[in-house]
Amino acid sequence: MGQPGTDRSTVRFPAPFIVGVGRSGTTLLRLMLDSHPDLAIPPETHFVPELVKLFETDDGTSPEHVLEIITSGRHWGDFGLEQESLRDRLHAAAPLDATSATRSFFELYAERHGKPRWGDKTPIYINRMMLIERALPEARMIHLIRDGRDAALSRARRVLKEPTPMYKVAERWRNRIVRAREQAPRLDHYLELRYEDVVLNTEETLRRICEYVDLPWDDAMLHYHERAAERMKEMHRDLPPEEGKPLRPADHRMAAHALTSEPPDPSRLGRWRTEMSPEDRAAFEDAAGDLLAELGYELEGQPAQR
């Protein structure tokens, strides 16, 4: 695979984009891949679809407008970048389009960490995979799926407002995964993985990802937890509120990912059996039992069938 360059036609390293329903282990996988000496993956970006849409409707977009979109988002403070450095990079991009603007950010972030390659971990991009691939042909989508009941339990522990009824949580989980799988045949690159395999068969799963993104194997990925706390420090700040989303205190953000500082723990799989109420288990299966079964997850009183 050729070295990255500034020319859009240059052959580029594949860039992993980790997506999935929230609380499906995407942060864990991000830290594993980010532990590779050649690959830097920032905290969630959220601005990429907006940038792509901007250039699709306005060919005369200026570097200043792009800079405003990236830096005005509430996640900007997580990246540890200087606005002036990004401004210079955007002014140097020729031509400035969705592709070069997006690459400018990611390349700057990777350089800050002394690495030649970059990726992304923003779960909600599960709804925008085709849009992102149009702008970034090097994008390699990695859809991480977790048993929706365990994901729901994890989500319930970090909500800052009244919990969403379980049937609605199940419907959202089901709908996002179904839509993603409907997009898959139209994507040039799509890899579907189970969170449970990341935990139970870590090396095998990571080697599969490395092959998918043309990344040489490195044992450092198996020791991600040794540097996870240090990497997570860049997010140790209050996440400002925005429309429809409350302020998320720094300590609350850190607590949500505390387990990433430990090796994968198989004992935490399937907690829905003992920690989810019978009513919530029934509500989840009523709304999404068909997809649970299709994905090979056990239903109440029925063995899993892979």
pTM (2 decimals)? Answer: 0.94
pLDDT of residue 67: 98
Residue of 11 and 122 predicted with greater confidence = 122
Q: Does 300 score more than 60 pLDDT?
A: yes
Q: For the chain, what are the domain ranges?
A: 8-37+119-210+260-297, 42-117
Return the CATH superfamily for domain 8-37+119-210+260-297: P-loop containing nucleotide triphosphate hydrolases (3.40.50.300)
Can you tell me whether residue 273 is helix, strand or coil? helix
Give per-residue pLDDT as tens, 177-186: 999 999 999 9
Which of 44, 29, 37, 42 has the alpha carbon at shortest distance from 116? Answer: 37
- Read off the pLDDT band of 134 (50, 70, 90): very high
- The answer to whether residues 206 and 22 touch, using CB atoms and an 8 Å cutoff, is no
Query: E strands of 8-121, at which residues?
Result: 15-19, 39-40, 117-118, 120-121
Give per-residue pLDDT as tens, 146-172: 999 999 999 887 775 788 999 999 999
Query: E strands of 164-231, at which residues?
Result: 190-194
Window from 27-41, 43-57, 240-254 with minimum mean pLDDT: 240-254
The reply to whether omega before 14 is within 30° of 0 (cis) is: no
Structure-token pair, residue 284:
């989840």
Section 36-57 average pLDDT? 96
Which of 154, 68, 55 has the alpha carbon at shortest distance from 99? Answer: 55
Residue of 214 and 304 predicted with greater confidence = 214
Query: Rounded to whole angstroms, what are the CA distances from 257 to 116, 132, 254, 271?
Result: 26, 26, 6, 17
